[in-house]
Chains A and B, each alone.
Chain A
Amino acid sequence: MLWMILANARQRRARAIMTVAGVAVGVGTLFALLAVSAGMESALEREIEGLGAHILLLPEGCPYTLTLALMQGTDTLEYIPQDMVPEFTRAENVRLAVPVVVGRVRLGGEQVSVYGATDGLFTVKDWEGTGFSGAVVGSDVAARLKLAPGQSISLELYETVTVEIAHILPRSGGRDDTFVFVPLPTAQTLLGLSGRLSAVLVQTTDVARTAPTRFALSRMANVQAVPPSDVFDMLVTLFGSIKSTLILVTGIAIVVGVLTTMNTMMMAAYERKKDIGLIRAVGATRMDVFRMFMVESLGVSLVSGVLGVALGYAATHLLPRTSGFGLQSSPAFSLGYVALCLVVAAAVGSISGIYPAVLAARTQPIKALREL
């Protein structure tokens, strides 16, 4: 039966191609959206975990904006007084408090993010070594500006500071690849933020008792204590609402696909009235005709589905790697998404095929033949 359907489709090649393209665009958009948003969520999770803190101490203000600024390496514009650090360290269950300052500076004519911290950062980030013996440079910055260990670099903003590169970090795929890490006083001088901090990363001794420690810390003045997981949940929720809107738009594209396919199949039922009448005359049952139309509609949709997945896959590679929230993220693909897209395509085929197939099956051979 397939050869009969293919012969019919060949007869209207341009229209078949248009229909396939129409559905493929919708399915492709869905696939790209799923892959990109999954990549985005995992990048967000990775970055939050990459902070290395059980509790994040932030200046007063919106904690999400401040966390994002910290992850992106831009000035937080609100600060914690540095002289509070001993107070944090003395709090119960606090094992380590690492003061941090971040901001954008110029290096060799380009903008880079600088991340100043005390040696405790090596423990928090689980890096080799015990502390700063110069600048630690992220792999992307090193590759972009052709930097190597032992080389001296001049960082400029309020002051110009020259530091020697001690170490180039191995590629992590995360935001750390884009930072130049320097000792806290160096960064403060550079950014003109003496005595001020963007955040403090806190690690607790007993992780299970993090919550009471957080409450104790948040009672201190000029500071808010936030668990990174809360920030993650909030950002995922925020991202989820954007994603819902995008899925709605994709849904509209898919509904358009259904209507396009239905239109094609309706036209086919009408134009092929003669052929349908004929095959009914030579013994095709209504079910045979119904099946032929459904197979054609499903076939068109599944071809569109496969093409859509390929298109979506290609499209995700054209998107910039730095997407929402300024985070480094690459799309996350899974067979589940491929399956979902093919199921959606099959649903498009079934829904759009049923009515035209019923119409075609209802063709009375005698009427069709009399119209010939």
Chain B
Amino acid sequence: MRLDLSKVWKAYGEGASQFWALRDVSLTIDDAPMIAVLGPSGSGKSTLLHLLGFLDTPTRGSILLDGTSVEGLSDRELSLVRRNRIGFVFQQYHLNESLTTLQNVMVPLELARVRDRRTVAARVLDQVGLASKLGSYPSELSGGEQQRVAIARALANAPELILADEPTGNLDSTTGANILELLLGMNREKGIAVVLVTHDEAVARSCDVQIQVRDGRVL
């Protein structure tokens, strides 16, 4: 998967209250790198991640997916790209509280109408070390375990890119290190590109590439 951001600007609000979250960002993701996006709060890290994940569209500039502009893609086509090629991991895990661990991981498989979704979900949960927690609800899991479920959900449809928004931000250092290890493993062993937003310099150092974002600009 190759993603090219070319002179991308992103504004929120209108008129006097307009605010530029990203300014003139150009960036290429190719060949399954492990990228850390660093920067203070409000610098535009999450906005960048949302644009890379097709959750949002740029105000100006263009995004190319495998060399083709995504500008003309319909909401449905963008949804399919997210479903089949991208996995998301959030700081707050964002699991559905009414679903079990296994069911949470089955959601993207269900949307993609994958056969044997139960088996696939159980296998992915086994990969993240949660084989014994398939029937547990999020409220019964620790923070680290919940983030593992979120990673398993991101991995379910065998994505080419994982976008992780401060995945270790809510975890203690040991658990955080384990989660980071898990993501690194996915990158190294499965060749999945990972873009990781973090505040943590140590986390950033373990990645192949570090991108600094300040006031909406990539330095």
A residues sitting closer than 8 Å to B (CB atoms) are: 1, 3-4, 7-8, 10-11, 274-275, 278-288, 365-366, 369, 372
Contact B76 A287, beta carbon cutoff 8 Å: yes
Contact B55 A365, beta carbon cutoff 8 Å: yes
- Bound-complex Cα distance A369 to B50 (A): 10
Contact B111 A283, beta carbon cutoff 8 Å: yes
| In the complex with contacts A1-B110, A4-B107, A282-B55 CB distance below 8 A | no
Contact B98 A282, beta carbon cutoff 8 Å: no
Contact A372 B94, beta carbon cutoff 8 Å: yes
A-B contact pairs, 28 of them (CB 8 A): A4-B107, A4-B110, A7-B99, A11-B98, A274-B94, A275-B96, A278-B94, A278-B96, A279-B111, A281-B53, A281-B82, A282-B83, A282-B88, A282-B107, A282-B108, A282-B153, A282-B154, A283-B79, A283-B84, A283-B157, A284-B83, A285-B80, A286-B75, A287-B76, A366-B50, A369-B55, A369-B90, A372-B92
B73-106 interface with A by 8 A CB criterion: 75-76, 79-80, 82-84, 87-88, 90, 92, 94, 96-99, 103
Contact A3 B79, beta carbon cutoff 8 Å: no
List, in ascending order, chain A residues with CB within 8 A of B82's CB.
Answer: 281-283
| In the complex with contacts A285-B75, A285-B80, A372-B92, A279-B107 CB distance below 8 A | yes
Is B201 an interface residue, CB under 8 A from the partner?
Answer: no
User: Which of B79, B99, B153 makes the CB contact (< 8 A) with A285?
Assistant: B79
User: Which of B53, B75, B103 makes the CB contact (< 8 A) with A7?
Assistant: B103
B130-180 interface with A by 8 A CB criterion: 153-154, 157
A-B contact count (CB 8 A): 67
Closest to B75 in A: A286
User: Which of B55, B79, B103 makes the CB contact (< 8 A) with A366?
Assistant: B55
Is B64 an interface residue, CB under 8 A from the partner?
Answer: no
Number of interface residues of B (CB under 8 A): 29
Closest to A274 in B: B94
Q: A282-B88, A284-B83 are in contact. List 12 more A-B contacts (CB 8 A).
A: A4-B107, A4-B110, A7-B96, A10-B98, A278-B94, A282-B154, A283-B112, A286-B75, A365-B55, A366-B50, A366-B56, A372-B92
* Cβ distance B197 to chain A, nearest Cβ, rounded Å: 13
Say whether chain A's binding surface is mostly helix, strand, loop, or mixed.
helix
- Bound-complex Cα distance A288 to B75 (A): 12
- Bound-complex Cα distance A285 to B81 (A): 11
* Cβ distance B80 to chain A, nearest Cβ, rounded Å: 7
Closest to A281 in B: B88
List, in ascending order, chain A residues with CB within 8 A of B80's CB.
Answer: 283, 285
* Cβ distance B141 to chain A, nearest Cβ, rounded Å: 17
List, in ascending order, chain B residues with CB within 8 A of A3's CB.
Answer: 103
Closest to A12 in B: B98
* Cβ distance A366 to chain B, nearest Cβ, rounded Å: 5
List, in ascending order, chain B residues with CB within 8 A of A282's CB.
Answer: 82-83, 87-88, 107-108, 111, 153-154
List, in ascending order, chain B residues with CB within 8 A of A366's CB.
Answer: 50, 55-56
- Bound-complex Cα distance A281 to B111 (A): 11
Contact A281 B55, beta carbon cutoff 8 Å: yes
- Bound-complex Cα distance A187 to B153 (A): 88
List, in ascending order, chain A residues with CB within 8 A of B154's CB.
Answer: 282
List, in ascending order, chain B residues with CB within 8 A of A372's CB.
Answer: 90, 92, 94
The 10 A-B pairs with the shortest beta carbon distances in the complex, nearest first, are A283-B83, A11-B98, A285-B79, A282-B108, A283-B82, A7-B98, A366-B55, A285-B76, A366-B56, A284-B111
* Cβ distance B91 to chain A, nearest Cβ, rounded Å: 10
Closest to A365 in B: B55
- Bound-complex Cα distance A110 to B190 (A): 92
